[in-house]
């Protein structure tokens, strides 16, 4: 199975490290990590992600603004996005408005993250 590209748009370095550890141990993935929505939009065009993991509360451009701009761009509007945030009300609204494809609360469980990523990449996790 081909290596999948995952874009992480998250301003917290500790959460970035958690994503990296879990995802690289569980899937054949190439990770691109950015720290705000503006960097994330630039990276989308460069890395052509198969999946985006997105925080909402970030500096420069927040996740809500990122998603709205992402969904307006024809060549990238179909990339699945999992919103992971402490702001569950906004995360659920983005999901209900069909801007986000999945929602994961912070703090998430490793199994929950793996299950959602597996679903959207359409591939099972690697055996440990």
Mean pLDDT along residues 28-52 = 93
pLDDT confidence band for 32 (50 / 70 / 90): very high
What distance in Å separates the CA atoms of residue 121 and residue 57, rounded to the nearest whole number?
A: 25
Residues in the chain, overall count: 128
Residue 108 has pLDDT above 90, yes or no: no
Domain boundary assignment for the chain: 4-120
pLDDT (tens digit per residue) in 53-105: 999 889 898 888 998 898 887 667 788 999 988 877 877 787 777 878 888 88
Torsion angle of alpha carbons 37, 15, 54, 62, nearest 10°?
-40
Phi, psi of 78 (to 5 degrees): -95, 5
User: pTM for the full model?
Assistant: 0.91
Contact in structure between 16 and 33 (CB atoms under 8 Å): yes
For 115, half-sphere exposure in the C-beta direction (CA atoms, 13 angstrom radius) is 8
What distance in Å separates the CA atoms of residue 72 and residue 88, rounded to the nearest whole number?
A: 23
Fold type of domain 4-120: Rossmann fold (3.40.50)
CA distances from 66 to 27, 29, 116 (A): 26, 23, 21
Count Cβ atoms below 10 Å from residue 122 Cβ, excluding itself.
10
What distance in Å separates the CA atoms of residue 69 and residue 121, rounded to the nearest whole number?
A: 22
């Amino acid at each position: 199975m081909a290596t999948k590209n995952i874009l992480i748009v998250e301003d917290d370095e500790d959460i970035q490290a958690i994503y990296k550890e879990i995802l690289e141990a569980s899937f054949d993935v190439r990770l691109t990590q950015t720290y705000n929505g503006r960097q994330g939009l630039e990276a989308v065009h460069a890395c052509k992600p198969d999946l985006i993991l997105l925080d909402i509360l970030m500096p420069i451009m927040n996740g809500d603004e990122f998603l709205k701009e992402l969904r307006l761009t024809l060549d990238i509007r179909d990339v699945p996005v999992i919103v992971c945030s402490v702001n569950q009300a906004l995360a659920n609204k983005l999901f209900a408005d069909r801007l986000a494809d999945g929602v994961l609360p912070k703090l998430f469980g490793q199994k929950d993250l793996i299950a959602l990523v597996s679903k959207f990449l359409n591939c099972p996790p690697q055996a440990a």
